Amino acid sequence: MTILIEQPEFEGGIGERNKGPVDENELVLDGGFVVPETMPDEGFVAPDTNSFGHTFRDYHVESERQKGVEDFYRTNHINQTVDFVRRMRGEYGKLNKVEMSIWECCELLNEFVDESDPDLDEPQIEHLLQTAEAIRKDYPDEDWLHLTGLIHDLGKVLLHPAFGELPQWAVVGDTFPVGCAYDESIVHHKYFLENPDYKNPVYNTKYGIYSEGCGLDNVLMSWGHDDYMYLVAKENKSAFPSAGLFIIRYHSFYALHRADAYKHLMNEEDIENLKWLKIFNKYDLYSKSKVRIDVEEVKPYYLSLIKKYFPAKLKW
């Protein structure tokens, strides 16, 4: 593994921590969405509780963890600016940090747990394979979607020292466009008031620096594991389909796939791909439960998918 990066600097730092009370009306939406009474789609039966025995995405459970999540979003919303995203894309888009296979990346990621996510307290590889296997069961013919389940969170290696050990707020959590007005459906929207772009007339209108139907490809998204993995999958000249890339880039974009915001920026292809993202997303959430996966048993299948869609070694 070649390591060529130093710790990037952050304007405004990680920021001071909010000491205020948790707003009970706001839900933090990272690993999933508010659980409906019954799941509208056929085929997939969602478990009732997550690893901690709580309802999924239940941020009302009194806990230090919940307060940590609100602090997390305050820092995230203050620091995710157009300038920040451009700098991160410029730096990480070089893909000159590491050369490794998809599976090596799964193993590397296994060292981390996502602190923004109230539903997940297990090694990431469990979550990846749970997601992939649940999809495989219901959509046996869509092998690219199984692989999407396996790789969608690999961008979280940004937390690793080999990738500059980015702070959590620059890696995980819900994502949103920058360069245009922050939609009110975005979790903890009030913290955008402290973001310098919020008052910038170039960036704070409905379209901002974009135009109607310009396509989400042309929209800068807040920086994190989603956009990073999208760049990796796209730039390594993979045979991976456009719907898979779309899922990877927007799987934490809850304002889009739960609240239907930002439709005015979408083009025809985005509208098609959004259907797959909505299917994918319920597996991303509900597979975070105590379903144990025998990694060695399923590994040959996933290695064959990796071989089909990606080069043996990727630039990261």
Binding site as annotated, residues: 57, 114-116, 127, 152-153, 156, 173-174, 225, 251-252, 284
Stretch that binds Fe ion, among 49-57, 146-154, 158-166, 197-205 (CB under 5 A): 146-154
Task: Take residue 253 and report the two structure tokens written for it.
Answer: 């974009």
203 vs 228, which CB is nearer to Fe ion?
A: 228
Binding of Fe ion by 115 (CB under 5 A): no
Task: Take residue 237 and report the two structure tokens written for it.
Answer: 């000249």
Q: Which residues are within 8 A (CB) of 169 and not within 5 positions of it... i.e. 6 or more apart?
A: 14, 72, 73, 75, 76, 79, 80
Number of residues that bind Fe ion (CB under 5 A): 2
Binding of Fe ion by 133 (CB under 5 A): no
What is the C-alpha to C-alpha distance for residues 120 and 126, in angstroms, rounded to an integer? 10
Candidate list 84, 230, 284, 306; residue touching Fe ion; CB under 5 A: 284
Candidate list 70, 71, 115, 153; residue touching Fe ion; CB under 5 A: 153
Tell me the closest approach of the beta carbon of residue 9 to Fe ion, in angstroms. Answer: 25
Tell me the closest approach of the beta carbon of residue 182 to Fe ion, in angstroms. Answer: 20
70 vs 284, which CB is nearer to Fe ion?
A: 284
116 vs 195, which CB is nearer to Fe ion?
A: 116
Determine the 3-state secondary structure of 55 from DSSP: strand
Tell me the closest approach of the beta carbon of residue 251 to Fe ion, in angstroms. Answer: 5
Stretch that binds Fe ion, among 176-184, 188-196, 216-224, 279-287 (CB under 5 A): 279-287
54 vs 209, which CB is nearer to Fe ion?
A: 54
Binding of Fe ion by 174 (CB under 5 A): no
**What one-character DSSP code corresponds to residue 17?**
P
Task: Take residue 1 and report the two structure tokens written for it.
Answer: 């593994």
- Our CA dihedral for 124, 222, 247, 113, rounded to 10 degrees, sits at 10
CB–CB of 65/58 below 8 Å?
A: no
First to last CA, the chain: 10
Task: Take residue 65 and report the two structure tokens written for it.
Answer: 């963890």
153 vs 270, which CB is nearer to Fe ion?
A: 153
Tell me the closest approach of the beta carbon of residue 163 to Fe ion, in angstroms. Answer: 16
133 vs 284, which CB is nearer to Fe ion?
A: 284
DSSP character string of 98-147: -EE-HHHHHHHHTT---TT-TT--S-HHHHHHHHHHHHHHH-TT-HHHHH
What is the C-alpha to C-alpha distance for residues 288 and 286, in angstroms, rounded to an integer? 5
Binding of Fe ion by 30 (CB under 5 A): no
The interface mask with Fe ion, positions 237-276, x = CB under 5 A, is ----------------------------------------
Instruction: Give the interface with Fe ion as residue ranges (CB under 5 A).
Output: 153, 284
